[in-house]
């Protein structure tokens, strides 16, 4: 597991926020997932050693909280709110629109590796339903047409990234 | 009829053009003056003001804030912690998000005043994991406040110090339950603790006395110290003081967030005048008034309530003032202020199936009745919608719900039972008829809800 120096610095800093090291479990898992995209088995061991815990103490956290994942996902993460206020305004249609755009199903990595689409529970923005998070960004009032626009943008960014990679 | 006027205290600057989340802007608008006032007061005097204000918690339970503070064990010799519950997750609720993203210093000032009042040296803001920008905004604001001697050691030239750290959750609704939140902050699965003995005020974070308050509640503290507890108590209605933010979502023309004096606006005024009424060609059918676990209200039903003088009054759903006590008297609750509206396009079996899927996903699994019951309610209602429905399924759902409430460590047991109990009670005919109506609702173009 190769963490960036900046991640290691943040890890050492965040541990100082708590009188009991174990409290840093969630922050460390967030930092590792942000760095390498998911929580591999070796990260569980690594965090346990870092915080002077047993691996099971970390593993039970990784397996409980919905945001932690033990496998890689697509390059972009599309989280569509499934809960009542969004569903009342068409959240299921929004999700289907994204699935169609990327030829994939919820919970899978799209064939081009670009996205993973998931249903998530209430994102606390019910007044602007349906809402979607793409990576860290919240998008409001995402109907089918807006889902298409956002998908096109993701595809454009992917093309740009591939061009940059091939020319660089 | 014109819409009743909002009274924006907490949301005074939300969506104000030019208002930014940085310290300079906050100070330009009088920011941290109340903290300066507070540190010149005796801590006990501040607690007294909060008690006199009648402030009730805005997170869901409506527990009086001053009473909560009064329960803190101050003789244990252990440090006292303040934990800010910013894990806004109750479906239909979206108020704390705007405070944290647009006016983070208002929250920080509220935290520091409350910390001073309770001799807290360390505060944590537990923000939900799905608000990464909010966490960064808060961290930046805390750093600014620390640099200006408003947070950290020896604030404002006193010998008093308190630091604040932001702690991110990771997508679990149960972390909004205060003892589950504490477990999560300790780095564990957020299994709620049993009370007694684990009352946070006595045995909270690291087994130390701990105050857990909602974001909006702590912002109110700032304004209580500003205007005085007695003056604050004049806002709103007796036992339901101050303002509160009502979040309206679902089938209205103009959803959004609105701050009103508690009890000074009725549900009917809120939905018809403020939110513009139902969508074109539709009629209101049902409304959940305080977050998805609050029992549903059916348009057309009435409530006969006792007055103090012994007489009684009858209210329609539209007549209900949006205060804690009247909503409770009508068999539901003000909860977290999340109002979810459903019109006549909605089939209630399908709406309940959506809610049941939420609670089954979010049960922490610690107590058997909740872990199994929430899952069974989801499976039954999901089967009704997607496979085979039977006329007796409503009764079956209710029997499962009835075996959860009151048999669990935390209030999630009630939270997941109340929707099923109230939907089946009030819309029983719709559940009985669902085997016949199911196919119609699949072809009439109505939206998929589960």
DSSP B236-294: EETTEESEEEEEEEESSSS-EEEEEETTSSBHHIIIIIIS-SSPTT--EEEEESSSTTS
pLDDT score recorded for residue A168: 62
Question: Which among A20, A55, A126, A134 is the top mutation candidate for probing chain B, defined by the most B β-carbons within 10 Å of its own β-carbon?
Answer: A126
Q: Are strands B256-261 and B243-250 parallel, antiparallel or unpaired?
A: antiparallel
Which structure tokens are listed for B257?
Answer: 């967030």
Place of tokens 């959803």: B255
Q: Using omega within 30 degrees of 0 as the cis cutoff, is the peptide bond preceding B90 cis?
A: no
- Looking at chain B, the whole-number percentage of residues with pLDDT higher than 70 is 99
Mean pLDDT of B405-424: 97
Mean pLDDT taken over chain A? 97
Which residue of chain B is at minimal alpha-carbon distance from A133? B130
Across the interface, of B132, B165, B449, the residue whose CB is closest to A136 is B132
Query: What is the SS3 assignment for A121-155?
Result: CCCCCHHHCCCEEECCEEECCCCHHHHHHHHHHHH
pLDDT band at A43 (very low <50, low <70, confident <90, very high): very high
pLDDT score recorded for residue A166: 85
pLDDT band at A165 (very low <50, low <70, confident <90, very high): confident
**CA-to-CA dists, residue B138 to A12, A124, B145, angstroms:** 20, 17, 10
pLDDT band at B221 (very low <50, low <70, confident <90, very high): very high
A166: distance to nearest CA of chain B, Å? Answer: 32
| Cβ contacts of A120 on chain B, cutoff 8 Å | 130, 171
Which structure tokens are listed for B312?
Answer: 């009684």
DSSP assigned state of B332: S
- pLDDT tens by residue, B130-147: 999 999 999 999 999 999
Q: Are B248 and B256 in contact (CB under 8 A)?
A: yes
Which residue of chain A is at minimal alpha-carbon distance from B92? A126
Place of tokens 């894990």: B87
Count Cβ atoms below 10 Å from residue A29 Cβ, excluding itself.
Answer: 23
pLDDT score recorded for residue B191: 98
**Partner B contacted by A119 (CB < 8 A):** no
Q: Are strands A76-81 and A132-134 parallel, antiparallel or unpaired?
A: antiparallel
| Cβ contacts of B129 on chain A, cutoff 8 Å | 30, 65, 67
Which residue of chain A is at minimal alpha-carbon distance from B253? A127
Beta bridge partners of B282: none
Contact state of A126 with B132 under an 8 Å Cβ cutoff: no
**CA-to-CA dists, residue B230 to B38, B105, B223, B260, B261, angstroms:** 16, 25, 12, 18, 15
**Partner A contacted by B184 (CB < 8 A):** yes
pLDDT band at B443 (very low <50, low <70, confident <90, very high): low
The enclosing H or E element of B107 equals: helix B104-118
Please report, for chain B, how many H helices and E strands are present, in that order: 17, 13
Range from B234-238, B274-278, B422-426, B436-440 carrying the lowest mean pLDDT: B436-440
pLDDT score recorded for residue B439: 76
B58: left (phi over 0), alpha (psi -120 to 50) or beta: alpha
Contact state of A51 with B187 under an 8 Å Cβ cutoff: yes
DSSP assigned state of B310: S
DSSP assigned state of B64: B
Mean pLDDT of B24-39: 98
Mean pLDDT taken over chain B? 96
Q: Which of residues 26-85 of A touch B (CB under 8 A)?
A: 26-27, 29-30, 51, 57, 60-61, 64-68, 79, 82-85
Say if residue A162's pLDDT is above 90: no
Say if residue B224's pLDDT is above 90: yes
B169: left (phi over 0), alpha (psi -120 to 50) or beta: beta
- pLDDT tens by residue, B342-366: 999 999 999 999 999 999 999 999 9
Say if residue B1's pLDDT is above 80: no
DSSP assigned state of B330: T
B308: distance to nearest CA of chain A, Å? Answer: 37
Count Cβ atoms below 10 Å from residue B20 Cβ, excluding itself.
Answer: 13
Say if residue B442's pLDDT is above 70: no
Positive or negative, the CA dihedral B157, B158, B161, B164 is: negative
Measured distance CA(A35)–CA(A33) in Å, rounded: 5
Q: With a threshold of 0.95, does the pTM exceed it?
A: yes
Q: Of A85, A59, A119, A13, nearest to B94 (Cα)?
A: A85
pLDDT band at B194 (very low <50, low <70, confident <90, very high): very high
- pLDDT tens by residue, B359-396: 999 999 999 999 999 999 999 999 999 999 999 999 99
Contact state of B292 with A84 under an 8 Å Cβ cutoff: yes
The residues near B314 (Cβ < 8 Å, ≥ 6 apart) are B302, B303, B304, B305
Q: Are B317 and B298 in contact (CB under 8 A)?
A: yes
SS3 content of chain A, % helix, strand, coil (to 5): 55, 10, 35
Q: What does residue B344 show for φ and ψ, rounded to 5 degrees? A: -75, 5
- pLDDT tens by residue, A87-132: 999 999 999 999 999 999 999 999 999 999 999 999 999 999 999 9
Across the interface, of B97, B187, B249, the residue whose CB is closest to A85 is B249
Say if residue B3's pLDDT is above 90: no
Contact state of B354 with A84 under an 8 Å Cβ cutoff: yes
pLDDT score recorded for residue B154: 95
Contact state of B186 with A20 under an 8 Å Cβ cutoff: yes
| Cβ contacts of B134 on chain A, cutoff 8 Å | none
- pLDDT tens by residue, B230-245: 999 999 999 999 999 9
Q: Which of residues 53-112 of B touch A (CB under 8 A)?
A: 88-94, 96-97
B254: distance to nearest CA of chain A, Å? Answer: 9
Place of tokens 């689409």: A117
Contact state of B449 with A87 under an 8 Å Cβ cutoff: yes
Cα distance from N-terminal residue to C-terminal residue, chain B: 37
Measured distance CA(B17)–CA(B26) in Å, rounded: 14
**B70 three-state secondary structure:** helix
């Amino acid at each position: 597991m190769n963490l960036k120096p900046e991640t290691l610095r943040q890890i050492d800093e965040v541990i100082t926020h708590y009188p009991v090291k174990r409290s840093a479990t969630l922050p460390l898992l967030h930092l590792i997932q942000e760095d390498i995209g998911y929580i591999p088995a070796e990260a569980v061991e690594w965090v346990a050693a870092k915080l002077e815990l047993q691996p099971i103490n970390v593993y039970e956290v990784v397996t409980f909280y919905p945001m932690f994942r033990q496998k890689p996902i697509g390059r972009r993460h599309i989280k569509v709110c499934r809960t009542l206020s969004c569903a009342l305004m068409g959240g299921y249609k929004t999700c289907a629109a994204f699935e169609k755009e990327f030829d994939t199903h919820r919970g899978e990595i799209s064939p081009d590796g670009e996205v993973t689409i998931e249903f998530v529970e209430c994102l606390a923005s019910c007044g602007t339903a349906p809402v979607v998070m793409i990576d860290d960004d919240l998008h409001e009032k995402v109907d089918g047409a807006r889902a298409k626009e956002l998908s096109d943008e993701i595809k454009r960014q992917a093309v740009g990234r591939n061009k940059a990679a091939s020319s660089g | 009829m014109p819409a009743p006027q909002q009274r924006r205290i907490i949301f005074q600057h939300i969506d104000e053009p030019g208002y930014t989340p940085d310290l300079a802007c906050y100070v330009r608008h009088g920011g941290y003056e109340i903290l300066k006032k507070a540190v010149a007061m005796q801590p006990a005097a501040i607690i007294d003001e909060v008690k006199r204000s009648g402030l009730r918690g805005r997170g869901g339970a409506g527990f009086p804030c001053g009473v909560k503070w009064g329960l803190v064990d101050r003789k244990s010799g252990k440090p006292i912690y303040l934990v800010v519950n910013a894990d806004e997750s109750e479906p239909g609720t979206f108020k704390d998000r705007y405070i944290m993203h647009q006016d983070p210093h208002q929250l920080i000032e509220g935290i520091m005043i409350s910390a001073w009042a309770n001799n807290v040296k360390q505060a944590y803001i537990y923000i939900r994991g799905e608000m990464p920008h909010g966490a960064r905004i808060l961290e930046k604001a805390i750093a600014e406040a620390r640099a200006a001697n408003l947070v950290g050691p020896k604030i404002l030239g006193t010998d008093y110090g308190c630091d604040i750290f932001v702690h991110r959750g990771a997508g679990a609704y149960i972390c909004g339950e205060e003892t589950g939140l504490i477990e999560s902050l300790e780095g564990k699965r957020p299994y709620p603790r049993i009370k007694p003995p684990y009352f946070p005020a006595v045995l909270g974070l690291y087994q130390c006395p701990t105050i857990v308050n909602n974001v909006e509640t702590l912002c109110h503290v700032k304004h209580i110290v500003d205007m005085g507890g007695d003056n604050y108590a004049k806002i709103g209605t007796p036992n339901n003081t101050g303002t509160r933010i009502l979040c309206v979502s679902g089938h209205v023309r103009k959803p959004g967030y609105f701050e009103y004096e508690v009890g000074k606006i009725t549900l009917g005024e809120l939905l018809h005048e403020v939110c513009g009424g139902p969508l074109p060609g539709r009629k209101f059918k049902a409304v959940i008034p305080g977050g998805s676990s609050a029992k549903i209200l059916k348009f057309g039903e009435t409530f006969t309530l006792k007055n103090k003088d012994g007489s009684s009054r009858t209210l329609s759903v539209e007549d209900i003032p949006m205060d804690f006590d009247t909503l409770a008297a009508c068999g539901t609750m003000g909860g977290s202020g999340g109002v979810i509206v459903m019109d006549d396009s909605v089939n209630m079996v399908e709406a309940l199936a959506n809610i049941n899927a939420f609670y089954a996903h979010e049960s922490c699994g610690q107590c058997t009745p909740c872990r199994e019951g929430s899952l069974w309610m989801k499976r039954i209602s999901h089967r009704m919608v997607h496979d085979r429905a039977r006329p007796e399924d409503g009764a079956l759902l209710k029997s499962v719900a009835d075996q959860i409430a009151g048999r669990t460590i935390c209030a999630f047991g009630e939270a997941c039972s109340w929707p099923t109990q109230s939907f089946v009670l009030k819309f029983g005919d719709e559940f009985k008829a669902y085997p016949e109506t199911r196919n119609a609702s699949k072809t009439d173009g109505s939206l998929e809800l589960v």
